[in-house]
């Protein structure tokens, strides 16, 4: 089995000195993401890290077909007269508003991650 190197976000920031990190999620669909590191301070006692501070927009659904598929999905979902509207609405399961992020759900997922990492974090 090949060795897989793991790095924390902190390792990348320390090693590169960069405060803006680009990465690709899902190489097949080539979703490009940017993480911007804000002010780095000492941890606040009692707080869990990582923390989600801000969310902008809603994530595209999985397997929507990359950027071109997402554009088509947005067009179809926004227009009830679009030939694929009903099919895509049924596939997705509900209406889709790209400007309405799932902030509570995302904060909960990051909180779960922080709790899992708490026991392994050397910078508690």
pLDDT value, residue 40: 76
pLDDT tens by residue, 28-66: 788 888 888 877 788 888 888 888 888 888 989 988 988
- Give the residue-averaged pLDDT of 112-116: 87
Q: How confident is the model at residue 124 (pLDDT cuts 50, 70, 90)?
A: very low
Is position 123 within any domain?
Answer: no
pLDDT value, residue 8: 76
**Token pair of 89 as six digits:** 């609405």
- Give the residue-averaged pLDDT of 9-21: 82
Distance of CA 4 to the CA centre of its chain: 22
Which range, 56-60, 91-95, 112-116, is most confident? 91-95
The structure's pTM equals: 0.66
Eight-state DSSP code of residue 63:
T
How many domains are contained in the chain?
1
- 9 neighbors 50 (Cβ within 8 angstroms): yes
Give Cα separations from 30 to 11, 16, 65, 97 (angstroms). Answer: 24, 23, 10, 22
- In sign, the C-alpha dihedral spanning 45, 47, 49, 55 is negative
Determine the structural domain holding residue 34 and report its residue range.
1-40
Scanning the structure block, which residue is given the tokens 């679009």?
82
Is position 124 within any domain?
Answer: no
pLDDT value, residue 80: 95
Is position 6 within any domain?
Answer: yes
Is position 119 within any domain?
Answer: no
Is the backbone peptide bond immediately before 49 cis, with ω within 30 degrees of 0?
no
């Amino acid at each position: 089995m090949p060795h897989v190197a793991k790095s924390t976000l902190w390792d990348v920031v320390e090693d590169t000195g960069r405060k803006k990190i680009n990465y690709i999620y899902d190489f097949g669909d080539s979703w490009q993401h940017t993480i911007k590191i804000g002010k780095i301070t000492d941890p606040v006692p009692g707080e869990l890290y990582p923390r989600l501070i801000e969310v902008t927009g809603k994530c595209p659904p999985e397997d929507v077909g990359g950027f071109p598929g997402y554009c088509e999905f947005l067009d179809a979902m926004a227009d009830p007269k679009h030939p694929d509207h009903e099919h895509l609405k049924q596939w997705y399961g509900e209406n889709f508003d790209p400007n309405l992020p799932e902030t509570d759900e995302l904060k909960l997922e990051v909180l779960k991650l922080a709790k899992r990492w708490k026991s392994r974090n050397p910078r508690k």
